[in-house]
Amino acid sequence: MPFRKLELCPQILQSVSNAGYTTPTPIQSAAIPRVLAGRDLIGIAQTGTGKTAAFVLPILELLSRKPAHGRGPRALVVAPTRELAAQIDENVRLLGKTMRIRCATIFGGVGERPQIDAVRRGVDIIVATPGRLLDLMGAGHVSLRNVEIAVLDEADRMLDMGFLPQIRRVVHALPKERQTLLFSATLSPDIEKITSEFLRSPETIEIGRRANPAETVAQFLYPVPKSRKIDLLLHLLRDPSLDSVLVFSRTKHGADKITRRLKQAGVDAAAIHSNRSQSQRIQALDAFKRGHARVLVATDIASRGIDVEGISHVVNFDFPMHPEDYVHRIGRTGRAAATGDAVSFVTPDDEEYVRLLEKMIKKTIARKKVTGFDYSDHAPLVAYHAPRAKPASLPARPTARKVDPPRPALRSAPRTAAAKPARRWR
Ligand code: AMP
């Protein structure tokens, strides 16, 4: 179904076309008509499916159909992280470019003043994280009484992050007469509970369950001892096809350490995690987007909302402890039908998590062995005992492992816009 069949006004169709979108994604085809019909909606879709435009487009359309009847935002989008909020704001600006839509983003970690000023000037849409939104509401800078449509995006993650009390307070400040949309990667019992609390006779649409990682992503496991993970990463980075690599670390400290080691080896790398200031995070993401940083090292929470086209590889430097995180991580590559690889390092301690994951995704992930890095190559060295039977002859030493020749420069040329894959949807 082409976009023009979706009852969107010509200005919106123009911005859709300017954004380079030709065909609606499945979540867009399913969600847009229902939202335009005024229904409450539960959208079960993982990130990368085009779910942001699935709510932004009908919101823009609904706002354009009716004039405002008072001050304050007419639509509110609540998201778990600043990065995701910034990304949604970017989408609103992109898709609302041909209309006079005013959007403000409200999140913590930066000064309140510009956000308060933006709201004072008048806004149609607010995109916010729950904490700062409540601060500004408490101080009387934001009122939600004229909100007609509310969206809870990545609701599952907001619950994981313990935001339920804050979300509840936000929802209670909304008018009873409103349309509510909730997006989540899974339909867990907790999500079902909050949907019955916050939504009215919602319709549920489910696109590409989170349990099935994006089909466009080729996945591989690399068994490796813990001590050799950084060497394996450097070894893999000798392949120039890894030109835009998102590396996941379990901890902030680990992310900094990996970044440091990569830089020492001449790889342009940047880190993004919650101990870094908002401006450092924006700078790191920007360097990665522009291709100045070949590698972005992130923790799970900081990676939420990273929307960078053309990520060639996701590397799970630390294997995720929760299968859901794995699916979220690998969803960062292969977005919008571009292909990508997901590479996971597996130490003997991680095998249990691998089993859990494979059970959940109902698939065995292919294993790749790199000679000299596989942890089974290392086991005999630890377990080696000289045989006692032949005291006269010394046991042969294990043969020295092949040493790699000196590495070529790891620095890659910045990606150019032309090198990026075209936006398209299958
Ligand atoms: P999302 O799931 O909202 O994070 O979107 C994933 C990516 O798909 C973003 O880079 C969007 O710009 C892109 N996208 C969204 N809708 C479409 C579409 N209809 N055609 C092509 N790309 C799209």
Total residues belonging to the chain:
426
Examine residue 61 and state whether it is found in any structural domain, yes or no.
yes
CA 4 / ligand 1 centre spacing (Å): 17
Q: Which residue, by CA, sits nearest to atom 12 of ligand 1?
A: 50
Burial per residue of 94-132, b for 16 or more beta-carbon CB atoms within 10 angstroms, e otherwise = bbbebbebebbbbbeebeeeebbebbeeebbbbbbbbeb
Return averaged pLDDT per consecutive 10 residues of the chain, 426 residues in all. Answer: 89 92 89 96 87 97 88 94 92 93 94 95 96 97 97 94 95 97 90 94 79 65 95 94 92 95 96 82 86 91 68 92 82 57 93 88 86 67 36 38 41 43 30
pLDDT at 46: 80
Q: Which residues line ligand 1 (CB under 6 A)?
A: 21, 24-25, 28, 47-53, 307, 309, 335-336, 423-425
Partner residues linked to 246 by β-bridges: 296, 314
Residue 186: count of CB within 10 angstroms of its CB: 16
pLDDT tens per residue across span 296-341: 999 887 776 666 777 888 999 999 988 878 887 887 765 544 456 8
CA 19 / ligand 1 centre spacing (Å): 9
Tell me, yes or no, whether 28 and 138 share the same domain.
yes
Examine residue 169 and state whether it is found in any structural domain, yes or no.
yes
CATH code, domain with 315 = 3.40.50.300
Burial environment of residue 421 by CB neighbours within 10 A (0 to 12, 13 to 18, 19 or more): middle
Tell me, yes or no, whether 142 and 57 share the same domain.
yes
Q: Which atom of ligand 1 is nearest to the CA of 47?
A: 2
Range of the domain at 248: 217-367
CA 25 / ligand 1 centre spacing (Å): 8
Q: Which atom of ligand 1 is nearest to the CA of 22?
A: 20
Examine residue 398 and state whether it is found in any structural domain, yes or no.
no
Q: Which residue, by CA, sits nearest to atom 6 of ligand 1?
A: 48
Taken in order 83, 87, 92, 94, the sign of the CA dihedral is: positive
pLDDT at 305: 60
pLDDT at 387: 36
Question: Number of structural domains, the chain?
Answer: 2
One DSSP character per residue, 210-273 reads TTS--TTEEEEEEE--GGGHHHHHHHHTTSTT--SEEEE-SSHHHHHHHHHHHHHTT--EEEE-
Residue from 25, 90, 153, 309 to probe ligand 1 pocket by mutation (most atoms less than 8 Å from CB): 25
